[in-house]
């Protein structure tokens, strides 16, 4: 079966263990959530899964093939895409060129890359932004362009690093709708890293909770919602608080 | 399919305008009809070639290279080896292989081979250097320049070491230099609008996101390094024919500083900047030279003290960079209607 897996992934540097034997699996058509307090190691795990950080132990595999030794561009070409906190768009380029560059980076001709970019902008719902310079976009549009860019070449898996950060409730709803379509219509396996716990609980089929570099809980939203360990990790105490309140605490 | 005009059509104006500008300079030289002025124009076209060659790598990758004049050195000596009379080579450079001593090519054929020779060495050095980034890459390119200079300054039998290699056929007409400058502009434009150029410029601004977009950064840098090395070698070949004599130190720190400052003053983010930087600073240098030599006003002669040229040039550069840190052209390219965004592949309207 197709899957992107982290198997006992460990990352240690300078005596600090950022990740400790983390297991995680992303499967096509499903949305997996990755949550945890600040410094839990969420972004480090995304970096490991996409080749930006080499694990010091364990392995990342894609459909059984070890990806751990590959460079980030090679991982992307294998069909594992990601977005970044803060967008990281090519700010001086128009929106369409941001997507075109990725098409070209994946080996397409310029004409084919532009055609796919136009199609993708329409699919994400931002076709009117095509000729805007990326650096001039409002924050939420930047996020959508970043997602469109990650979807170029129809990757099997896409890792979204805090896509809802800074969004209003309505914007977050629209994003949730888009993420559902990415998994449902496109059949992508989605890993959603998000501080907005409410959004993760609402969207995800499966949730993994990290704290201090280790998985402390994994399960469906109901299980996570009821987990004492998760509550403790967020609150620092086993307070009698329902999880969505955490959203306010962040 | 897309109804957007092709990238070449959208951006062709830039190399065309730059070529027309260079042709206009050439026509001024013809109209002036003086021999020294002719030589000045030849120097300008050579600088355009070198600075545009430098732009192909530096402008697109964002990595400052202190080593590119090394490729100019390789091109200049290759042209010398291929065009000098065999008798002179036998005397001055007896260490050359027999076949190379025997060969004597027309200058244009030698220039093409010299460009390929420089590009080959750019590929060899680049394979190692392009894995580095930032200041490490810059220092490594400088080390490469020092290595090339050291080899050419000591390999007596093959390069004549530090003594001048004379007997290179001199080409005095300005047209070959103009043509080579225009060819360099079109090569730079062609690279900039190619898939490789687009990927490299994206990676220049956002290397992390570029990797996450499937872009193999060392590979794209290597392509630009090789193309750029080839143009520098071509410039070197023509350089040797402009003065008829080469020494390793002609192609060392002085020329490195001149070409880099012209690129930075023009604006290293754009091809137009590379050409405009050369034209503006060269014109300034020429005016200062005239003033140093003395200008007659009525019965008296106004002359600046010697050395003012370098000082004034330094001041002008500092002033330009103080007010326009990204150079005269900033991140814009010349266009028929108006300046547009620097990326020759971009079509958007800044808002």
CATH code (residue A39)? 3.40.50.300
pLDDT of A234 reads 80
Of A83-97, A152-166, B265-279, B286-300, the one with minimum mean pLDDT is: B286-300
Q: Is residue B320 part of a domain?
A: no
For the segment A219-227, the average pLDDT, to the nearest whole number, is: 93
Q: Is the pLDDT of residue B78 over 80?
A: yes
Q: Which residues contact A21 (CB under 8 A, 6 or more apart)?
A: A8, A9, A10, A57, A58, A214
Nearest to B346 among A88, A94, A136 (CB): A94
What letter does residue A129 receive in the DSSP assignment?
Answer: G
Q: Which carries the bigger pLDDT value, residue B176 or residue B287?
A: B176
The answer, yes or no, to whether residue A161 has pLDDT greater than 50, is yes
Q: Say yes or no for a CB contact (<8 Å) between B351 and A133.
A: yes
Domain annotation covers residue A49: yes
**Cβ separation A149–B213 shorter than 8 A:** yes
A91/B205 CB distance under 8 A: yes
Count up the domains in chain B and report the number.
Answer: 1
CA-CA distance, B95 to B310, in Å (whole number)? 39
H/E stretch holding A24: strand A16-26
Cα diameter, chain B: 72
Which of B9, B213, B331, B347 best tests the A interface by mutation, with the highest count of A CBs <10 A? B213
Residue B346 has pLDDT above 80, yes or no: no
Q: Of B63, B7, B51, B339, nearest to B198 (Cα)? A: B7
Burial class for B100, CB neighbours closer than 10 Å (0-12, 13-18, 19+) = middle
Would you state the pLDDT for residue B68?
Answer: 98
Instruction: Enumerate the residues of chain A whose CB falls inside 8 A of the CB of residue B195.
Output: 104, 109-110
Q: Does A105 touch chain B (CB under 8 A)?
A: yes
Cα–Cα dist A46/B3, whole Å: 37
pLDDT at residue B91 in the model = 93
Whole domain around residue B57: which residue ranges? 7-252
Q: Does A106 touch chain B (CB under 8 A)?
A: yes
Per-residue DSSP letter, B281: H
Mean pLDDT of chain B: 91
Does residue A48 lie within any of the structural domains?
Answer: yes
Q: Are A4 and A16 in contact (CB under 8 A)?
A: no
Structurally, how many domains does chain A consist of? 1
Domain span including residue A71: 25-88+154-249
Q: List chain B residues with CB under 8 Å of A82.
A: 212
Q: How confident is the model at residue A242 (pLDDT cuts 50, 70, 90)?
A: very low
Q: Is residue B301 part of a domain?
A: no
Disruptive mutation site among B1, B2, B190, B344 for chain A (greatest number of A CBs within 10 Å)? B2
Coil, strand or helix at A97:
helix
Pick among B202, B205, B212 to test the A interface (most A CBs inside 10 A): B212
Are B19 and B179 spatial neighbours (Cβ–Cβ below 8 Å)?
A: no
Residues B141 and B153: their CA atoms lie apart, in Å, by 18
Residue among A115, A132, A136 minimizing CB distance to B2: A115
Q: Do A56 and A133 touch, CB atoms closer than 8 A? A: no
For an interface test with B, the pick among A79, A85, A90 (most B C-beta atoms closer than 10 Å) comes out as A90
Count the residues in chain B: 351
Residue with the bigger pLDDT between B34 and A18: it is A18
Q: Is the pLDDT of residue B338 over 80?
A: no
Q: What is the pLDDT of residue A236?
A: 64
Percent of chain B exceeding pLDDT 70 equals 95
Reduced to 3 states (helix: H, G, I; strand: E, B; else coil), residue B342 is coil
Of the pLDDT bands very low, low, confident and very high (cuts 50, 70, 90), residue B304 is confident
Q: How far apart are CA B233 and CA B69, in angstroms?
A: 9
B249-263 tens-digit pLDDT: 999 999 999 999 999
Domain assignment present for residue B278? The answer is: no
CA distance A215 to chain B (A): 26
User: Cβ of A111 and B202 within 8 Å?
Assistant: no
Question: Which of B1, B4, B346 has the CB atom closest to A93's CB atom?
Answer: B346
List CB contacts (< 8 A) between B207 and chain A. Answer: none
A180 contacts A163 by C-beta, under 8 angstroms: no
**CB within 8 Å: B205 and A82:** no
- Report the alpha-carbon distance of residue A122 to residue A113 in Å, rounded: 14
Beta bridge partners of A81: A158
Ramachandran class of A21: left when φ > 0, alpha when ψ lies in -120 to 50, beta otherwise: left
Residue A116 in any domain: the answer is no
Considering only the C-alpha atoms of chain A, give the largest distance between any 2 of them, rounded to a whole number of Å: 58
Cβ pair B198:A100 closer than 8 A: yes
| pLDDT grade for A1, boundaries at 50, 70 and 90 | low
Lowest mean pLDDT segment, chosen from A180-189, B56-65, B102-111, B328-337: B328-337
Residue with tokens 């021999």: B35
| Residues B154, B248: Cα–Cα separation, whole Å | 10
Question: How many angstroms separate the CA atoms of B221 and B232, rounded?
Answer: 16
* Residue B344 falls inside a structural domain: no
In angstroms, the CA A177 to CA B70 distance is: 57
Tell me what pLDDT residue B106 has: 97
Rounded to an integer, the average pLDDT of A165-194 is: 94
The band of B36, judged by pLDDT with boundaries at 50, 70 and 90, is confident
**Cα gap B45→B180, rounded to integer Å:** 8
At B74, the pLDDT band (50, 70, 90 cuts) reads very high
* pLDDT above 90: residue B308: no
Quote the DSSP letter at residue A186. S
Region of poorest pLDDT, from A57-61, B31-35, B337-341: B337-341
pLDDT-derived band of residue B309, with 50, 70 and 90 as boundaries? confident
> Each residue of A74-96: pLDDT tens digit?
999 999 999 999 889 999 899 99
Residue A218 within a domain:
yes
Spell out the residues 6+ positions from residue B319 whose beta carbon is closer than 8 angstroms to its own: none
* Residue A19 belongs to a domain: no
pLDDT, residue A239, reads 44
Both tokens of B348, joined, read 């958007």
- The tens digit of pLDDT for each residue in B92-127 reads 999 999 999 999 999 999 999 999 999 999 999 999
pTM of the model: 0.90
Residue B277 covered by a domain: no
How far B120 CA lies from chain A's nearest CA (Å)?
A: 25
pLDDT of B139 strictly over 50 = yes
Q: Is A126 inside any structural domain?
A: no
pLDDT-based confidence at B238, cuts 50/70/90? very high
A 62-91 residues inside an 8 A Cβ radius of B: 71-74, 76-77, 81-82, 84, 88-91
Residue A178 forms part of a structural domain: yes
Helix residue spans in chain A (DSSP H): 42-49, 72-77, 95-105, 110-124, 139-151, 169-184, 197-203, 221-225, 228-235, 246-249
What CA–CA distance (Å, rounded) separates A127 from A139?
17
Per CB-CB distance under 8 Å, the chain B contacts of A54 are none
Is the torsion defined by CA of B269, B271, B274, B277 positive or negative?
negative
* Mean pLDDT (whole number) for B8-37: 90
Instruction: Tell me the pLDDT band of B12, cut-offs 50, 70 and 90.
Output: very high
Q: Identify from A97, A111, A154, A160 which residue to disrupt to test chain B contact, counting B C-beta atoms within 10 A and taking the largest count.
A: A97
For residues A209-215, give the mean pLDDT.
94
CA distance B206 to chain A (A): 6
**Is the predicted pLDDT of residue A250 greater than 90, yes or no?**
no
The chain B residues in contact with chain A (CB within 8 A) are 1-2, 4, 7, 195, 198-199, 202, 205-206, 208-217, 331, 341-343, 345-351
Residue A199: C-alpha distances to residues A33, A135, A171, A195, B290 (Å): 10, 27, 12, 9, 73
Average pLDDT over residues B181-202: 96
**DSSP assignments along A77-90, one per residue:** HTTEEE--TT----
Q: Alpha-carbon dihedral of residues A152, A154, A157, A159, nearest 10 degrees?
A: 20
Residues of chain A with Cβ-Cβ distance to B351 below 8 Å are 132-133, 136
Q: In this structure, what are the phi and psi dihedrals at residue A89, rounded to the nearest 5 degrees? A: -75, 165
Residue A233 falls inside a structural domain: yes
State whether A92 and B342 contact (CB < 8 Å): yes
Q: In 3D, which of A25, A22, A20 has the Cα closest to residue A5? A: A25
Q: How many distinct helices (H) and strands (E) make up chain B?
A: 16, 6
Structural domain contains residue B266: no
CA dihedral sign of residues B54, B56, B61, B67: negative
CA distance B59 to B280: 18
Structure tokens at A230: 């998760």
- Tell me if B232 is assigned to some domain: yes
Calculate what percentage of chain B has a pLDDT beyond 90: 73
A154, B6, B196 from A111: Cα distances, Å = 17, 8, 14
Q: A249 falls in which pLDDT band (50, 70, 90)?
A: very low
Which residues, listed in sequence order, are joined to residue A7 by a DSSP beta bridge?
A59
The verdict on residue B18 lying in a domain is yes
Chains A, B: CB contacts under 8 A, how many?
A: 117
Question: What is the average pLDDT value for chain A, to the nearest integer?
Answer: 91
What per-residue confidence (pLDDT) applies to A153?
Answer: 97
């Amino acid at each position: 079966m197709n899957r992107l897996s982290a198997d006992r992934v460990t990352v240690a540097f300078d005596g600090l263990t950022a990740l400790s034997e983390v297991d995680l699996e992303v499967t096509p058509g499903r949305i997996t959530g990755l949550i945890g307090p600040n410094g839990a190691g969420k972004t480090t795990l995304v970096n490991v899964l996409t080749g930006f950080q080499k694990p010091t132990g364990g392995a990342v595999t894609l459909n059984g093939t070890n990806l751990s030794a590959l460079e980030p561009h090679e991982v992307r070409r294998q069909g594992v895409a990601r977005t970044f906190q803060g967008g990281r768009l090519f700010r001086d380029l128009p929106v369409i060129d941001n997507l075109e560059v990725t098409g070209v980076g994946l080996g397409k001709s310029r004409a084919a890359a532009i055609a796919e970019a136009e199609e993708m902008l329409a699919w994400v719902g931002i076709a009117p932004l095509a000729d805007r310079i990326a650096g001039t976009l409002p924050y939420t549009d930047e996020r959508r362009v970043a997602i469109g860019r990650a979807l170029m070449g129809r990757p099997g898996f896409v890792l979204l690093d805090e896509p809802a950060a800074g969004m209003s409730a309505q914007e977050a709803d629209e994003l949730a709708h888009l993420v559902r379509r990415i998994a449902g219509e496109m059949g992508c396996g989605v890993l959603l890293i998000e501080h907005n716990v409410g959004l993760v609980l609402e969207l995800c089929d499966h949730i993994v909770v990290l704290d201090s570099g280790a998985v402390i809980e994994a399960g469906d939203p109901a299980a996570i919602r009821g987990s004492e360990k998760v509550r403790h990790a967020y609150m620092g105490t086993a307070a009698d608080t329902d999880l969505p309140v955490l959203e306010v605490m962040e | 399919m897309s109804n957007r005009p092709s990238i070449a059509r959208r951006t062709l104006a830039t190399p065309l305008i730059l070529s027309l500008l260079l042709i206009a300079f050439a026509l001024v030289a013809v109209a002036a009809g003086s021999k020294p002025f002719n030589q000045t124009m030849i120097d300008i076209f050579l600088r355009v070639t070198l600075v545009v060659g430098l732009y192909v790598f530096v402008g697109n990758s964002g990595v400052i290279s202190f080593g590119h004049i090394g490729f100019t050195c390789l091109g200049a000596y290759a042209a010398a080896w291929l065009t000098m009379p065999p008798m002179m080579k036998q005397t001055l450079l007896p260490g050359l292989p027999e076949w190379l001593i025997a060969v004597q090519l027309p200058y244009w054929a030698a220039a093409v081979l010299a460009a390929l020779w420089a590009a080959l060495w750019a590929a060899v050095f680049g394979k190692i250097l392009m894995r580095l980034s930032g200041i490490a890459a810059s220092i490594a390119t400088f080390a490469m320049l020092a290595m090339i200079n050291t080899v050419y300054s000591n390999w007596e039998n093959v390069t004549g070491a530090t003594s001048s290699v004379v007997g290179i056929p001199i080409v005095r007409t300005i047209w070959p230099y103009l043509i080579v400058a225009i060819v360099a502009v079109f090569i730079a434009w062609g690279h900039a609008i190619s898939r490789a150029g687009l990927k490299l410029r994206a990676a220049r601004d956002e290397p992390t996101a570029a990797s996450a977009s499937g872009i193999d950064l060392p590979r794209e840098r290597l392509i630009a390094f090789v193309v750029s090395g080839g143009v520098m070698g071509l410039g070197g070949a023509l350089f040797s024919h402009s003065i008829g004599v080469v020494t390793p130190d002609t192609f060392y720190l002085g020329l490195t500083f001149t070409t880099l400052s012209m690129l930075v003053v023009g604006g290293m983010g754009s091809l137009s900047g590379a050409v405009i930087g050369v034209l503006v600073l060269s014109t300034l240098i020429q005016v200062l030279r005239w003033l140093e030599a003395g200008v007659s006003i009525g019965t008296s002669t106004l002359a600046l003290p010697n050395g003012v040229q370098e000082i004034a040039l330094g001041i002008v550069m500092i002033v330009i960079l103080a007010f326009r840190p990204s150079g005269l052209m900033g991140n814009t390219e010349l266009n028929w209607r108006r300046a547009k965004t620097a990326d020759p592949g971009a079509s958007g309207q800044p808002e």
